[in-house]
């Protein structure tokens, strides 16, 4: 099963299953189209125009450049140049079966693989490009943090990078939760409504960090996740050791 996906019910992904996609399943399950660009391969199992696929690839390359710039400004980088694989499933059912995600999740990212709901469905909901942005941000955040970034931070930063502020604005909690409380609720939430509200909280928490310390500091925080029980990022503790200041246990 893949790790945390993007829960995007407001996008009301298909209120269950779209019969049109089921009908296409037999025709495309075996085939699909595969295209690639310099840093991405894209597999689309349902029918889609080459123009749409090329647009997704161009968007993906642009997102990558954007993310590299953000990391550069934080004096960070992610090593390796493995291609990231985007897979648009043929049906919502196939997406659910492949990822273990609920029908209202738009996508799921693990390692270098980003699995998504059918391209036509995401396009119809108007979230095709933002979903790719969001998931690519997860890929970068996972690599930077070795998969150890707290979920509230990963989700909030991915939403920030994807430009989802306007979309989530109306779901903001009037009484902001602590980050620990957001994290706890994220692990227990089971309804799309609850997830949507928590995602707005994640974004709000990250925006607050950015307002106080700048975006670069947030990326550095991602790169040095604080383990539960620790009071300071690992890097800071190391630096203090190096400086001969010792560390209070
Ligand atoms: Zn996400």
Q: How far is the CA of 26 from the centre of ligand 1 (A)?
A: 30
Q: How far is the CA of 192 from the centre of ligand 1 (A)?
A: 13
pLDDT score for 241: 28
Please state the domain extents for the chain: 5-242
Looking at residues 103-124, what average pLDDT do you find?
94
Q: Which of 19-28, 36-45, 126-135, 215-224 has the lowest mean pLDDT?
A: 19-28
Q: Write a three-state SS string for the chain.
A: CCCCEEECHHHCHHHCCCHHHHHHHHHHCCCCEEEECCCEEEEECCCCCHHHHHHHHHHHHHHHHHHHHHHHHCCCCCCCCCCEEEEECCCHHHHHHHHCCCCCEEEEEECCEEEECCHHHHHHCCCHHHHHHHHHHHHHHHHHHCCCCCHHHHHHHHHHHHCCHHHHHHHCCCCCCCHHHHHHHHHHCCCHHHHHHHHHHHHHHHHHHHHHHCHHHHHHHHHCCCCCCCCCCHHHHHHHHHCCCCCCC
Looking at residues 38-45, what average pLDDT do you find?
95
pLDDT score for 31: 66
Mean pLDDT taken over the chain: 81
Q: Domain spanning 5-242 has what CATH number? A: 3.40.30.160
Does residue 123 register a pLDDT over 90?
A: yes
Q: How confident is the model at residue 192 (pLDDT cuts 50, 70, 90)?
A: confident
Q: How far is the CA of 238 from the centre of ligand 1 (A)?
A: 30
Q: How far is the CA of 135 from the centre of ligand 1 (A)?
A: 6
């Amino acid at each position: 099963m893949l790790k945390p996906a993007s829960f995007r019910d407001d996008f009301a992904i298909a209120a269950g299953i779209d019969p049109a996609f089921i009908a296409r399943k037999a025709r495309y399950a075996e085939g699909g189209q595969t295209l690639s660009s310099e840093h991405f391969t894209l597999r689309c199992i349902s029918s889609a125009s080459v123009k749409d696929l090329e647009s997704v690839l161009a968007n993906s390359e642009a997102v990558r450049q954007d993310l590299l710039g953000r990391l550069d400004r934080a004096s960070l980088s992610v090593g390796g140049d493995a291609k990231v694989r985007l897979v648009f499933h043929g049906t919502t059912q196939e997406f659910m079966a492949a990822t273990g995600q609920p029908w209202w999740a738009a996508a799921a990212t693990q390692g270098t693989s980003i699995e998504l709901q059918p391209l036509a469905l995401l396009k119809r909901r108007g979230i095709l490009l933002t979903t790719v942005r969001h998931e690519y941000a997860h890929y970068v955040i996972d690599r930077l943090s070795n998969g150890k970034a707290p979920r509230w931070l990963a989700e909030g930063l991915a939403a920030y990078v994807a430009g989802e502020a306007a979309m989530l604005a109306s779901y903001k909690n009037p009484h902001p939760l602590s980050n620990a409380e957001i994290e706890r609720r994220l692990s227990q939430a089971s309804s799309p409504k609850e997830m949507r509200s928590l995602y707005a909280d994640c974004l709000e928490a990250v925006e607050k960090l950015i307002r106080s310390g700048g975006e670069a500091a947030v990326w550095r925080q991602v790169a040095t996740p604080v383990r539960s029980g620790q009071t300071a990022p690992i890097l800071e503790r190391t630096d203090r050791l190096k400086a001969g200041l010792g560390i209070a246990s």
